[in-house]
Chains A and B, each alone.
Chain A
Amino acid sequence: MRRISVAVLPLVAVGALTGCGSVAGREQAASAAAVRLLTAVDGKDGAAACAVLAPGTASEVEQSGGKPCAEAILDEDLPKPGTVTGTRVYGQWAQVRLSDDTVFVAVFPGGWRVVAAGCNPQGDRPYDCTVQGG
Chain B
Amino acid sequence: MKRFLRQNSLGLVFGVLFLVVLVAEAFAGHADFNQQQLTEGLAPVSFARYVTSASFGADVLENWQSEYLQFSLYIFLTVWLLQKGSPESKELDKAGRESEQEQKIGPHADETSPRWARARGIKLWLFSNSLGLVMGLIFVLSWLGQSIAGVAAYNEQQLGNLEDPVSWPQYLTQPDFWNRTLQNWQSELLAVASMAILAIYLRQRGSSQSKPVGSAHTTTSVEG
* Chain A residues packing against B (C-beta within 8 Å): 18-20, 54-56, 88, 90-95, 104, 106-109, 115-116, 119, 121, 125-127, 129, 132
With both beta carbons as reference points, the residue of chain B lying nearest to A108 in the complex is identified as: B43
* Residues of A close to B55: CB separation below 8 A: 91
* A106 to B55 CA separation, bound complex (whole angstroms): 16
Given A54-B41, A108-B43: A90 and B163 interface contact (C-beta under 8 Å): no
> Complex Cα distance A94/B158, Å?
10
Could you say which of A18, A106, A132 contacts B42, with CB atoms under 8 Å apart?
A106
Bound CA–CA A104/B163 (angstroms): 9
B152 CB contact (under 8 Å) in A55, A90, A115, A125 = A90
Q: Do B162 and A92 touch (CB < 8 A)?
A: no
- Complex: chain B residue closest to A112, CB-CB: B43
Contact present for A127 and B41 (CB under 8 Å): no
Across the interface, do A90 and B156 meet the contact criterion of CB distance under 8 Å?
Answer: yes
A-B pairs with beta carbons under 8 Å apart, 27 shown: A18-B43, A56-B41, A88-B155, A88-B159, A88-B165, A90-B156, A90-B158, A90-B165, A91-B54, A91-B55, A91-B156, A92-B42, A92-B45, A93-B159, A94-B159, A95-B159, A95-B164, A95-B165, A106-B159, A106-B160, A107-B42, A108-B41, A108-B42, A108-B43, A115-B162, A126-B163, A127-B162
> Are the CB atoms of A92 and B155 closer together than 8 Å?
no
Give the Cβ gap from B47 to chain A, nearest Cβ, in Å: 13
CB distance from A87 to the nearest CB of B (A): 11
Give complex CA distance A104, B162 in Å. Answer: 7
Give the distance in Å from the alpha carbon of A34 to the alpha carbon of B164 in the complex: 17
**Would you give the shortest CB distance from A50 to chain B, in whole angstroms?**
16
Count of B interface residues, CB-CB < 8 Å? 21
Further pairs besides A88-B159, A90-B152, A104-B159: 4, Cβ < 8 Å: A94-B159, A104-B162, A108-B41, A126-B162
The verdict on B153 contacting chain A, using a C-beta distance below 8 Å, is yes
Task: Please give the distance in Å from A113's CB to the nearest CB on chain B.
Answer: 9
Which residues from B are CB-within-8-Å of A55? 41
**Could you tell me the distance in whole angstroms from the C-beta of A26 to the nearest C-beta in chain B?**
11
Alpha-carbon separation in the docked complex, A131 to B110 (Å): 78
The complex places the Cα of A109 from the Cα of B45 at a distance, in Å, of 10
Bound Cα distance A95, B156 (Å): 10
B41-62 to A contact mask, C-beta < 8 Å, 1/0: 1110100010001110000000
B113 on interface, CB distance cutoff 8 Å? no
Q: How far is the CB of A92 from chain B (nearest CB, A)?
A: 6
The interface residues of chain A lying within 8 Å CB-to-CB of B163 are 125-127
